[in-house]
Structure 1
Amino acid sequence: MSARPHSGPQPSRRTILGLAAATPLAMTGVLSLGAGTAHAADSAYVMVYFTEANNLGAGTDYGLHLAVSPDGLNWTPLNQNNPVATPTAGALGLRDPFVMRKQDGTFVVLATDLKGTDWNYNSQYIHVWDSADLRTFTGYRRLKLHDMATHSWAPEAFWDAGRGQYAVIYSSVNSSGHNVIMVNYTSDFVTASAPQVFFDAGYDVIDGNMTVGVNGVNYMYIKKNQTLVGTRSTSLNPGSFTEFSTGVAHGGTEAPTVVKSLTSNTWYLWGDTYTPNGVYYAWQTSDLASGTWTALDQKTYTQPLNSKHCAIATITTTEYNNLLTKWGAPAWNRLKSYNFPDRYVRHSGFAGRIDPYPIAPFADSQWKLVPGLADSSAVSFQSVNYPTRYLRHYNYDLRIDVNDGTSTFAGDATFYRTAGLADAGWASFRSYNNPTRYIRHYSYALRIDPISTATERQDATFRVGY
């Protein structure tokens, strides 16, 4: 439940003209998540999330957002990072969406009934949608979970095979005044059993995330004292889970999401920081039972722009391709620095530089990579929020200027995309009219320079993504 109060009892995210765009998967073969009810043919991932940006200004939307990824680490927001569904009852907004493939192969989406940051808004309900393929969302309704004068935060669900029902877990305040993880059981997400306490640590815990059936053990990660902590049980019975792991955090961290690689024996743990425009961090382990995690290099993953409190599910190649076809990849890109991977290319005061994410206003870091103004086989960087301006060099410094239509401007604003000088899987950009020079950062400012040293090669390497 992103951006809630930090402590004490809680109140009652194809190459065209040289740019990276999402490409349809061409994977084949049988892959399995090894937990839950993932299909044997799953080979990609879908993420659901909401957005908060610019201190709850432009870019903030409490609707259901989707992104897809072939590797579960780098994400392509769909529908231009706009919502694909919005609640029409209750608070008329959502937080903390969750997606799960049901036993019949279709999907269900759950979410907190809350719009914005009114933590005193107490809803006994959660939002629910059905979806055959995540291209349409039907049967919108709210599911009542309890009659208590408290909230129903961060709902998630899992299949309890022993009961032959789905368990819906969520955070509510109990009679002792602290948050516990509650559970209701349902067969249809239309009606549910009476609530029970699923996990009570004796102090405030929220954001339960379940991984079922890994070598006979079930795992639930929670937020405790601003860290992500694991619990486990050999059963799925309420009251059976106990803490076991070393807590991980990057500052104040919440919203744990555990997902397994589809191509290796690697597990990833995602966590979200509190603030609007929060930052995701990720950890990995090859042994879920160990309860120890190693921080991932931020070069290896990129959250969807402005994303908050995500959930991730596995999907098939066909579903991945169909989602891209239906909703489309963004018309813009972001460029991540190779050696400062928390920073992205942006303009500030019309000067080009790299700054840490989140960037305000976030549109300063969005670029349309268009055919080069001087050579259509190259690329020019058109500002999204100043569309008459392009990134160009002037006395070797980079800035965004209005295109004056001259050949000099066109040459200054045109670059050839090459394999990354520090990593061939990334990208570097060579100046059209100063062909011995490449775009690089120096003291975080962008310029074009000759490149010779290892440090300079890293300074001149960027990931083109979203």
Structure 2
Amino acid sequence: MEQSAQPRRRSVLKTALATTAVAAGAPLTGLLTAPSARAALPPRGLTSRYTMTAFTYTGGATMHVYEAPDGTAFRPIASPAYAPPSGLLRDPSIMRHSDSRYYVTYTTAWTGNRIGLASSADRLTWTHLGDITLPTAGIGNSWAPEWFLDTDGRVHIVVSLHYTASTDAGTFQPHVITATNTALTAWTEPVPLAGIPTDYIDTFVVRIGGTYHAVLKSTRDMSTDFATAPALTGPWTVWNTGNFVDLDGEGPCLVPLDNGGWRLYFEQYRAHRFWCTDSYDTFRTWSTPMELSGISGTVKHLTVLKERVPGGTTLPAAPHRLRAVNAPDRLWAPGASSVLDLATGGGIALTAVPGLADRSGYSLRVADGRYVRHYGYRLRLDADNGTTVFARDATFTPRPGSAAGSVSLESFSHPGRYVRHREHQLWLDFHRTGDLYEADRSFLLV
């Protein structure tokens, strides 16, 4: 939760204190449990869908809804989607409830003890349900509410609270409120997450097995930190600190990926940019952050919901060749040292078989038994060496291409990276917006 004029949190709060005395698809339980040791692509006939809710730099009173098949290539589906009858709408957090409806909670004002609530059947049209009043005395600010659905079915909201008795404008602390009925019309009083010190805000919680994990923003060090606890209310231990200080990450959000990893989204507040990074060791280490082209510079403080819905792209079992949509005289063909290029001529026949890392994906095999895999983001043909790394690097998820009948191939091991051609060579490149990239990553099966 930040003001659009870019003052730091402390100066914002000091000023504030001075002026105050689902369409088809089921809820995804994978948000609450550990990623499988094996991959977890949806079975054929289903596909993952990532729904993002955010507000923008151009205003703090409307919510916008975006969608992506891969957690990367977000496009607007309702922009704007919702504005409350009065007040602000900032930091919208989305979840899907047991009644199959979608709900958002959000920051309603710079000061006060209320957070907002709205609902939708289709993510496009929203109904204002009213505000949740936090009854604890002395609350001066209620910012950045985030849903957390526990494995026992209970519905919680984690919200950052600042009390008027505090003289330090940075002393926010995460608290949790819990719904006491399924209609979400009655809530407990806020309970602090014990063990998390003050000076933390924007707290997002997931559960992996029997351990609760939180990612949260330090207002003191401007870092993204991580904490764990045996129970939602604690005791929490902050254990991984000092991350992404150079990017001044705001509004962190965690989402499980199809390949068993987790993706972290966050806003680089001062630069108006948005990033994502992936972890495969329970938040100990992270990939190099990649900018989310298309929404970076537009959205602020988002939350992403992952579901499985009917759909998906399939590849035929018979051998085919792949022709570039925007270079129709060139097909995939072996080059020097077993790399794959685009070349004129007959190309090489590829047979789509169940993915080596996940049978719901695909691996591409040639007649001599070698597979298409990436190495250093370059595509090549190699024999299966039986390793997990090879299996993951040789598995792809097909997506619709930019032209009718064309396909794009997303890397299983590096979600958001697609096979594309540049200078007639085949590479894995991270998604970016623009007609050239979309065409470069689209191929026709011939």
User: Quick one: distance in 1 between partners of 2:129 and 2:28?
Assistant: 32
Change (3 A) 1:61 1:113: closer
User: Quick one: distance in 1 between partners of 2:108 and 2:298?
Assistant: 20
Contact 2:157 2:177 in 1 (8 A): yes
**Amino acid corresponding to residue 214 of structure 2 in structure 1:** M
Deviation at 1:319, TM superposition (A): 9.7
The structure whose RCO (Cα within 8 Å, separation 6+) is larger is: 1
1:171 and 2:160 matched: yes
Contact 2:31 2:255 in 1 (8 A): no
Which runs of structure 2 are paired with 1:210-359 in the superposition (5 Å)? 210-212=205-207, 214-224=208-218, 225-236=221-232, 238-249=233-244, 250-261=246-257, 263-275=258-270, 278-288=272-282, 290-298=283-291, 302-303=294-295, 306-318=298-310
Change (3 A) 1:319 1:310: farther
Match of 1:463 among 437, 440, 443: 437
Contact 2:47 2:310 in 1 (8 A): no
**Amino acid corresponding to residue 144 of structure 2 in structure 1:** A
Match of 2:127 among 132, 138, 147: 138
Q: Which residue of 1 aligns with 2:75?
A: 76
Stretches of 4+ moved more than 4 A in 1?
A: 7-10, 27-32, 423-428, 451-454
1:183 and 2:152 matched: no
Change (3 A) 1:132 1:84: same
User: Quick one: distance in 1 between partners of 2:302 and 2:33?
Assistant: 18
Q: Secondary structure at the match of 1:463?
A: helix
Q: Secondary structure at the match of 1:63?
A: strand
- Which runs of 5 or more structure 2 residues have no equivalent in the other structure? 18-23, 36-41, 313-402, 409-416, 427-433, 440-446
Contact 1:209 1:222 in 2 (8 A): yes
User: Quick one: distance in 1 between partners of 2:12 and 2:99?
Assistant: 36
**Amino acid corresponding to residue 75 of structure 1 in structure 2:** F
Q: Which residue of 1 aligns with 2:85?
A: 88
Cα RMSD between the aligned structures?
Answer: 4.0
Match of 2:113 among 124, 135, 150: 124
Change (3 A) 1:10 1:28: closer
Q: Which residue of 2 aligns with 1:373?
A: none
Deviation at 1:10, TM superposition (A): 6.3
Change (3 A) 1:48 1:127: same
Deviation at 1:143, TM superposition (A): 1.0
Q: Which residue of 2 aligns with 1:48?
A: 53
User: Quick one: distance in 2 between partners of 1:9 and 1:95?
Assistant: 18
Deviation at 1:139, TM superposition (A): 4.5
Contact 2:27 2:96 in 1 (8 A): no
User: Quick one: distance in 1 between partners of 2:407 and 2:311?
Assistant: 30
TM-score between both structures, scaled by the size of structure 2: 0.59
Identity, % of aligned positions:
21
User: Quick one: distance in 2 between partners of 1:452 and 1:73?
Assistant: 25
- Which runs of 5 or more structure 1 residues have no equivalent in the other structure? 13-26, 115-120, 321-415, 429-450, 455-459
User: Any idea what the Cα deviations from partners look like across 1:135-175, whole Å, max 9, x if unmatched?
Assistant: 3322431111234341110001223455x632211111144
User: Quick one: distance in 1 between partners of 2:115 and 2:95?
Assistant: 15
Deviation at 1:201, TM superposition (A): 3.5
User: Quick one: distance in 2 between partners of 1:193 and 1:28?
Assistant: 30
Deviation at 1:462, TM superposition (A): 4.4
User: Quick one: distance in 2 between partners of 1:148 and 1:198?
Assistant: 18
**Amino acid corresponding to residue 148 of structure 1 in structure 2:** G
Deviation at 1:297, TM superposition (A): 3.9
User: Quick one: distance in 1 between partners of 2:48 and 2:407?
Assistant: 27
Deviation at 1:304, TM superposition (A): 5.8
Match of 1:205 among 192, 200, 207: 200
TM-score between both structures, scaled by the size of structure 1: 0.57
Change (3 A) 1:278 1:101: same
Change (3 A) 1:83 1:31: closer
Q: Which residue of 1 aligns with 2:8?
A: 6
Change (3 A) 1:137 1:319: farther
Deviation at 1:35, TM superposition (A): 2.0
Q: Which residue of 1 aligns with 2:149?
A: 159
How many pairs were matched up? Answer: 305
Q: Secondary structure at the match of 2:141?
A: coil
Q: Which residue of 1 aligns with 2:328?
A: none
